[in-house]
């Protein structure tokens, strides 16, 4: 996640994943569906039948993880190793890059579980997918906490707010394991995914490509205070977006359901 692209691409992936869940939640609430996931398509015969059964969201996770890994490796200068061997010393190298690659691995495994659950199991298993999400959050949260080392000022405040949203999302996905049919949890999960994604994009702009053209200053208290204000604006804007998605979905599904 180093650099502008390293924040932009993961942010877009998480934001669109949150939008996808927001649409599913709106459909479930309006049409009174018992589950938040799309039903499995009926099996059909033909040359392209198996390809049509592939779960697109899981495939998108897998492809996006490959893109993120390629982007991360492209930005590494020199030989990418885990431990250096100089004389009798053994030093770990590229700790942030290895953190990023571990995060991307969770996206890849989550996509693989989605595809397997949709295509290879006799019946789709939402519990398996939810368990994978909870496990992924257990991995992401401590990695992001350790990511705060060597951070200060604006960067530190940005990532503290990101960890706050990640922690709340972790609580939601854990609660969903025991209460999978509580629709309020579906709404909160979609909401927090969009917050995390949009805030990652905002971090990329603030740290590397500020829209104003002026670099954010770590020794300026006003800049640090406005980081929190911008985060609150993100929360309010995404709440309005959730309401808008529900309103559009209501106008669409009221003629179908």
Q: Is a pLDDT exceeding 60 seen at residue 217?
A: yes
Q: Is a pLDDT exceeding 80 seen at residue 80?
A: no
pLDDT grade for 7, boundaries at 50, 70 and 90: confident
pLDDT tens sequence across 155-183 = 889 999 999 999 999 999 899 888 887 88
CB atoms within 10 A of CB 58: 20
Bigger pLDDT: 194 or 179? 194
E strand or H helix at 64 = helix 56-74
Backbone phi, then psi, for 29, in 5-degree steps? -70, -40
What average pLDDT does the segment 48-55 reach?
47
Beta strands in the chain (DSSP E): 83-86, 89-92
CA distances from residue 119 to 59, 129, 132 in whole angstroms, order as listed: 12, 13, 17
What average pLDDT does the segment 50-61 reach?
62
CA distances from residue 236 to 144, 162, 195 in whole angstroms, order as listed: 24, 16, 10
Residue span of the structural domain in which 93 resides: 3-253
Q: What is the share, in percent, of the chain residues with pLDDT greater than 90? A: 20
Q: Which residues have CB under 8 Å from 107's CB, separation 6+?
A: 13, 61, 64, 65, 68, 136
Residue written as token pair 């015969």:
45
pLDDT tens sequence across 218-247 = 888 888 888 999 999 999 999 999 999 989
Domain count of the chain?
1
Three-state DSSP class for residue 212: coil
- Percent composition of the chain: helix, strand, coil (DSSP 3-state, to 5): 70, 5, 25
């Amino acid at each position: 996640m180093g650099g502008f692209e390293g924040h932009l691409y993961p942010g877009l992936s998480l934001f669109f994943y949150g939008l996808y869940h927001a649409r599913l939640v709106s459909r479930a609430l309006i049409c009174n569906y018992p589950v938040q996931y799309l039903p499995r398509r009926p099996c059909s015969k033909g040359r392209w039948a198996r390809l049509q059964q592939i779960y697109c969201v899981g495939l998108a996770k897998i492809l996006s993880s490959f893109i993120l890994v390629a982007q991360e490796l492209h930005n590494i200068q020199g030989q990418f190793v885990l431990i250096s061997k100089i004389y009798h010393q053994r030093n770990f190298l590229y700790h942030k890059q290895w953190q990023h690659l571990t995060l991307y691995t969770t996206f890849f495994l989550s996509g693989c579980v989605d595809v397997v659950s949709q295509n290879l199991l006799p019946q789709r298993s939402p519990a398996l997918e939810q368990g994978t999400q909870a496990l992924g959050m257990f991995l992401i949260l401590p990695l992001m906490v350790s990511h705060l080392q060597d951070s200060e000022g604006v960067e530190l405040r940005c990532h503290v707010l990101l960890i706050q949203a990640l922690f709340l999302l972790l609580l939601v996905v854990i609660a969903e394991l025991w209460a999978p049919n509580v629709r309020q949890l579906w709404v909160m999960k979609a909401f927090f995914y969009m917050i995390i994604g949009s805030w990652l994009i905002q971090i990329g702009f603030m740290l590397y490509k500020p829209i104003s053209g002026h670099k954010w200053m770590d020794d300026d208290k006003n800049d640090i205070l406005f980081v929190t204000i911008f985060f609150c604006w993100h929360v309010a804007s995404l709440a309005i977006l959730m309401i808008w998605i529900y309103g559009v979905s209501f106008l669409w599904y009221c003629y179908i359901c």
